[in-house]
Structure 1
């Protein structure tokens, strides 16, 4: 790849870096990181492969590359954060100069190396014991049950979610827990005048438990279980586990089971390949 087209908008971006009076070795470092990012997207990201338009990139596309850095290259925390910083400055430049209409790295933050490892799928195979463990908060166990059925936190905390849940599809261990849960939630539903599944214990206006409120139940249980209970990471590990366990299913079968659009399915397929590697 020539210097002139190592990555999109290279010439205007590097002119900007020169105006910022960055040292040439630093500019070369930006070039190396951005060329590597777009080379990865060209080879492993179906959405970018389709038209090579920078304007179509989303945060999860950049996250796919960052996950590869950790899981395959095992970069250090310092290297990871420096690379993310370079990528962030690049996209910020494109956004502020109207070359793209949204800012795909806006929500991405530097994290510790341990936090960036692919989440363990072991918990999914411990679900019978987890559901039966009365030391764990009942909302913790419900969160893990719903996540194991490929529901996201934004889905199951949304009012009315109970209408799309089908407990008849639960296995025997899950049905046993569901009966216990009904004993807990039914009086609370009557008190809060709501049929939803995650409700506050106190009467104070909106009865629905927020993500922050749920976290207060999950955080103490992390010590009991010995791993992080971040709902988004649990969800990711549930998706990865299913893909790894069912390598021969078609895209349509996987999309139907996991309720994923084709772009999201491809993203998780790539993560699953990295996890296997």
Structure 2
């Protein structure tokens, strides 16, 4: 079975031995998968021969810097990612699979005051979909998140195979017509019916999260708010809870596919949203 990053199976066994919750293990795996996908695409050290034992502090700093600059992550998320990477590299070092501890000299960031969540963008979706200045992939990201799909779901291969769009409104249908015209040559070239495809020849035609951010980043100045998929998804959740205050926790968890321990957090965000 292929692995998403070096020594994944061995690392997961260590996480399991720590009696760690499955959701936390999933977070570790998501961080490391994203980290190594980023290295494959943008890091010369790793691109040369894909050897994890060559990675040093500047390589990790490059990734963390991208998270701050391109994805605009908050300090709390930065610290969590750094912690995940730190645990992973200590694991490698303890098995002599790397001579370096590239996270050793990297410091966590101070806790930030909570930023108000932008939930209004969901109510502006129709006008955003009709804005020709925004890239098709930017508008598609907004459309899918506004229908409750997190970025991990819609970047996955074959996501569209079971996607039912018939009940979406007229503005969404008009955008989908434009989307299909844009995608037709790409889908034919790659022999794929998926929607988020690279525009250059590639062994794997599916757009990665770093690749998606290359389309989102320039459009942020046009819309005037963060287009980070994580931030957008938070806004969607807050918007939904504000529109459906009568839902019980169980109903909201089922409707939004949330972890039970996170519903209180999002209800607090909804109550305090401007």
TM-score interval for Structure 1 and Structure 2 normalised by the shorter chain: 0.5 to 0.7
Q: How does 1:13-28 map to 2 (within 5 A)?
A: none
Runs of 5+ in structure 1 lacking a partner?
1-53, 60-79, 97-107
Q: How does 1:196-215 map to 2 (within 5 A)?
A: 196-215=194-213
1:180 corresponds in structure 2 to 178
1:12 corresponds in structure 2 to none
Measure how far apart 1:250 and its partner are.
2.4
Q: Counterpart of 2:166 in 1: which secondary structure?
A: helix
Measure how far apart 1:150 and its partner are.
1.4
Runs of 5+ in structure 2 lacking a partner?
1-18, 26-73, 91-106
Equivalenced residues, count: 184
Q: Deviations over 1:127-164 (max 9, x none)?
A: 11100011100000000000111111111000011023
Q: How does 1:74-89 map to 2 (within 5 A)?
A: none
Change (3 A) 1:257 1:109: farther
2:215 corresponds in structure 1 to 217
Q: Counterpart of 1:215 in 2: which secondary structure?
A: helix
Q: Deviations over 1:49-68 (max 9, x none)?
A: xxxxx976969xxxxxxxxx
Contact 2:117 2:273 in 1 (8 A): no
1:20 corresponds in structure 2 to none
Q: Deviations over 1:92-118 (max 9, x none)?
A: 9xxx9xxxxxxxxxxx9537958x503
Distance 2:248 2:203 in 1: 46
Q: How does 1:1-277 map to 2 (within 5 A)?
A: 110=109, 116-275=114-273
Q: Deviations over 1:42-89 (max 9, x none)?
A: xxxxxxxxxxxx976969xxxxxxxxxxxxxxxxxxxx979x98xx99
Measure how far apart 1:239 and its partner are.
0.2
Distance 2:135 2:110 in 1: 28
* Larger helix share, 1 or 2: 1
Measure how far apart 1:249 and its partner are.
1.5
2:53 corresponds in structure 1 to none
Distance 2:225 2:146 in 1: 16
Distance 2:214 2:182 in 1: 18
Q: Deviations over 1:221-272 (max 9, x none)?
A: 0011111100000000100111011100123332332122322333322332
Which piece of structure 1 moves more, 254-263 or 130-139? 254-263
TM-score by length of structure 1 reads 0.58
- The structure whose Rg is larger is 1
Which piece of structure 1 moves more, 248-257 or 205-214? 248-257
Distance 1:175 1:166 in 2: 12
